[in-house]
């Protein structure tokens, strides 16, 4: 029966993450405060960059912060549900429940990009990946700072996002391989030193999948970068 329970918990975690991630931050802020839908203006993307382009720095930062928070919230919601309801003790959970926290993060990414509440037209997964990394690993968060370094020099959010996410993937792979050959050696890089989150194949696989989604969602930006036609961001200094 444990395998059935584990599959059900996994699907539930994915759904919970998706529903939380589906909250359309940029659309809500745009319609409430500016009477606009960001999907109809600018780059027509429901993300923080387009929000800043349309409504200014404060609006753009607000969208980014909320989107990062909802990605992190999906992980912590599943964490609390599993541990406060007694599931952690009642069922033999895969990897002690860690896999489900990461499935929630993947669900949040799917919700962010294809939100249920906004006709499946959402963002590009940048904030979703940032939320997962910030919520689980201080070590990977340092590598995520590559985003700001590239952005400051090149002013392309798309390029910064792709390079930073790729850097995080490589760092996560290094963490996984190191921990695989020397078990427990890299859990210090996770919040809680291995008591909250663990390095493992599921962690690396989730980051890899989210990054693939991120790059896919930027395919038009990649084409414009290749043609030297990509717009630079002006509101982030």
Residue 236, pLDDT score: 67
Judging by beta carbons within 10 Å of its beta carbon (0-12, 13-18, 19+), is residue 180 exposed, middle or buried? middle
What percent of the chain lies above the pLDDT cut of 70?
Answer: 96
- Helix and strand element counts for the chain (H, E): 12, 0
Q: In whole angstroms, what separates CA 174 from the centre of its chain?
A: 20
Q: Model's pTM, two decimal places?
A: 0.92
With a cut of 90, say whether residue 232 has pLDDT above it: no
Sign of CA dihedral 129, 205, 136, 1: positive
Query: How many Å from the N-terminal Cα to the C-terminal Cα in the chain?
Result: 55
With a cut of 90, say whether residue 200 has pLDDT above it: no
Q: Where are the alpha helices (DSSP H) in 85-137?
A: 87-90, 98-113, 126-136
Residue 4, pLDDT score: 85
What letter would DSSP give residue 117? G
Alpha carbon distance 113, 47 (integer Å): 9
Residue 169, pLDDT score: 96
Q: Which residue has the tokens 């390029």?
A: 159
Q: In whole angstroms, what separates CA 118 from the centre of its chain?
A: 18
């Amino acid at each position: 029966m444990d395998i059935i329970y584990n599959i059900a918990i996994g699907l539930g975690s994915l759904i919970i993450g998706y529903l939380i991630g589906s909250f359309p931050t940029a659309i809500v802020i745009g319609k409430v405060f500016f009477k606009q839908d960001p999907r109809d203006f600018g780059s027509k993307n429901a993300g923080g960059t387009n929000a800043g382009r349309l409504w200014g720095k404060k609006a753009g930062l607000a969208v980014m912060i909320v989107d990062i928070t909802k990605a992190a919230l999906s992980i912590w919601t599943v964490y609390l549900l599993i541990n406060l309801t007694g599931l952690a003790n009642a069922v033999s959970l895969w990897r002690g429940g860690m896999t489900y926290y990461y499935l929630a993060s993947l669900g949040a990414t799917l919700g962010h990009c294809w939100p249920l509440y906004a006709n499946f037209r959402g963002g590009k997964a940048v904030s979703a990946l940032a939320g997962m990394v910030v919520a689980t690993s201080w070590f990977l968060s340092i590598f995520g700072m590559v985003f700001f370094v590239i952005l400051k020099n090149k002013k392309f959010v798309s390029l910064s996002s792709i390079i930073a996410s790729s850097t995080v993937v490589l760092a996560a792979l290094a963490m996984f391989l190191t921990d695989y050959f020397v078990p427990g050696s890299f859990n210090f890089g996770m919040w809680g030193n291995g008591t909250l989150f663990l390095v493992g194949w599921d962690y690396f696989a989730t980051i890899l999948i989210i990054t693939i989604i991120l790059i896919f969602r930027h395919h038009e930006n990649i084409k414009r970068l290749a043609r030297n036609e990509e717009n630079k961001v002006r509101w982030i200094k």
